[in-house]
Amino acid sequence: MNIDKGSSAAVVVSKAWANLHGVKLFLRSGGGSQTDIRGMDESHVLFAKVLEAEDSTGVWIEVQTDKHGEDLAIGAVRMLIPWRQVLAIVVAEKFSPAVRQEARRIGFTGETERE
């Protein structure tokens, strides 16, 4: 299946990968990069815009950092998630508030649409 560039997606990744300090540094810019991502299982959800899904190395996404909501000058982060760290990709025009609320509850880090 091809994923169109610019698609809104929920990318489910390995929590161990999301908890690597070098990854958290960019996903949780600011004071939160030292705090481990917790949750109910070994997965973690990133709401993102898909930039490139045809790369054999992984999927390129764009996420809004935690600080982006506070300061729009900070901008978004573009990053490659290695395919071996991707557990699932869900593509939707818009994710329901219930899905977003559940993702917040389990500690997701980024999103492209604000409620």
What does pTM read for this prediction? 0.79
Domain range for 97: 8-106
Judge whether 26 lies within some domain: yes
Q: How many domains does the chain have?
A: 1
Two structure tokens written together for 58: 């992984």
Ordered per-residue pLDDT tens for the chain, 115 residues: 789 999 999 999 999 999 998 988 887 765 555 677 777 788 888 999 999 999 999 999 998 765 545 555 567 889 999 999 999 999 998 888 888 788 777 665 554 444 4
Integer-rounded Cα Rg, in Å, for the chain is 13
Pairing of strands 86-91, 8-14: antiparallel
Quote the pLDDT of residue 98: 87
In a domain, 112, yes or no: no
Give CA separation, 48 vs 11, 22, 31, 42, in Å: 7, 19, 21, 19
* Cα 37 from Cα 95, distance rounded (Å): 22
* Residue 56 falls inside a structural domain: yes
Residue 97 lies in a domain: yes
